[in-house]
Amino acid sequence: MAGQIMSKPELTATRLDDAARAGWLYYVAGNTQDEIAAKLGISRQSAQRMVSLAISEGLVKVRLDHPIARCLDLAAQLRDRFGLKMTEVVPTDPGSSSTTLGVADAAAAEMTRWLRTEAPIVLGIGTGRTLKAAIEQLSPIECPQHKVVSLTGNISPDGSAAYYNVIFNIADKIKARSFPMPLPVIASSPEERELLHAQAMIRPVLELAATANVAFLGIGDLGDEAPLFVDGFISRTELDELRRAGAVCEIIGRAFDRNGIPIAGLTNARVASAPIPSCETAMVIATAMGSRKMQGIAAAIKGKLINGLITDEQTAEMLLASK
């Protein structure tokens, strides 16, 4: 999608159509690429390209339908030990350093479960790389009965749309009414935040966010590669100050210490995001994995900020080993 000029929507459409057909013949019908090439009257290389296009465009979704005992076990342990309502543990790829591999698929599946309910729900959605990857895995589904509300602003410090704000991506995939929050993530001053929040466009969105039935959140670490810093929402100095104040993680822009207590003042005084929906009234599900997020996950649990967790084996083990 990046380097693609949009002057050929119909061409792309038929290309994807062919890709889907090739992918179908390959994955469902079990043909070899040679056979596909013969049947579709193209060269083998082209067939290969179609198939790999189908994969890279996310047309092909693979699901594993087997409860791996160890993962179930870890999930149950997490649930019991930390009083969570819902946990999901996916296998870990020992060699990969990805922080989305697996949890993204699992999060997409969990979202689908919620979206499939007939009763209208309000789905709150955070931000971040993990969630972005999850939305990419989401299958299109029509659910006009639901509302999806962004819990955080979608404007980058430079004024452009924040890349890792996912409300627009999710709106693309599902036909639900979506409510973005046309705000910066962090306002320039507490006063500006109040001003922004008082706007007629924003207030209803904040109110809607407070009524969310379920929320999916990413957890950001505050290490040297903190997403909040890397993406330019806070400065190096602000990051250092937060860390000195004991902050270990950030959820929708708001920083928390190791006990899950919000840091007083600093950037938190200016964060324009909606409050995290309450665990009393909503399922608040965090999707996070990897050692960098460990502290943050532990903090979110300790502070009872979340009551659901989607993570991977290794992180689950570390969480259970700690404390």
Partner DNA sequence: CGGTTGTGTGAGTATTTGCCCAAGAAGCTA
Partner DNA sequence: TAGCTTCTTGGGCAAATACTCACACAACCG
Output DSSP code: residue 155. B
Residues forming a β-bridge with 120: none
Here the tokens at position 67 are 């409860």
Rounded-to-integer distance, Cα 3 and Cα 5, Å: 6
Part in contact with a copy of itself (CB under 8 A); list of ranges 54-62, 121-129, 234-242, 315-323: 54-62
Contact residue for a copy of itself among 54, 115, 181, 202 (CB under 8 A): 54
Rounded-to-integer distance, Cα 225 and Cα 241, Å: 15
Contact residue for DNA among 16, 21, 40, 52 (CB under 7 A): 52
Residues 6+ apart with CB under 8 A from 207: none
Burial degree of 272 (CB within 10 A; 0-12, 13-18, 19+): buried
Q: How far is the CB of 54 from a copy of itself (least distance, A)?
A: 7
Q: State which amino acid sits at residue 32.
A: T
Instruction: Output the furthest CA–CA distance in the chain (Å, rounded).
Output: 67
Contact residue for DNA among 39, 49, 197, 243 (CB under 7 A): 49
Part in contact with DNA (CB under 7 A); list of ranges 38-46, 73-81, 195-203, 236-244: 38-46
Rounded-to-integer distance, Cα 102 and Cα 289, Å: 9
Residue (12 or 145) nearer to DNA, CB: 12
Please give the residues from 158 up to 187 whose contact with a copy of itself meets the rule CB under 8 A.
none
Q: How far is the CB of 101 from DNA (least distance, A)?
A: 17
What are the φ and ψ backbone dihedral angles of 320, each rounded to 5 degrees?
-70, -30
- Name the pairing type of β-strands 308-312 and 247-251: unpaired
Residue (86 or 261) nearer to a copy of itself, CB: 86
List the one residue out of 99, 49, 58, 22 whose CA is nearest residue 290: 99
Output DSSP code: residue 311. E
Residue (101 or 210) nearer to a copy of itself, CB: 101
Contact residue for DNA among 24, 43, 160, 301 (CB under 7 A): 43
Note whether 16 binds a copy of itself by CB under 8 A: yes
Contact residue for a copy of itself among 7, 118, 200, 264 (CB under 8 A): 118
Which residues in this chain contact DNA in the complex, by CB under 7 A? Answer: 1, 3-7, 11, 15, 26, 32-34, 42-46, 48-49, 51-52
Which residues in this chain contact a copy of itself in the complex, by CB under 8 A? Answer: 13-14, 16-17, 19-21, 23-25, 27-29, 31, 35, 39, 54, 57-66, 68-70, 90-91, 93-96, 101-102, 105, 116-118, 139-140
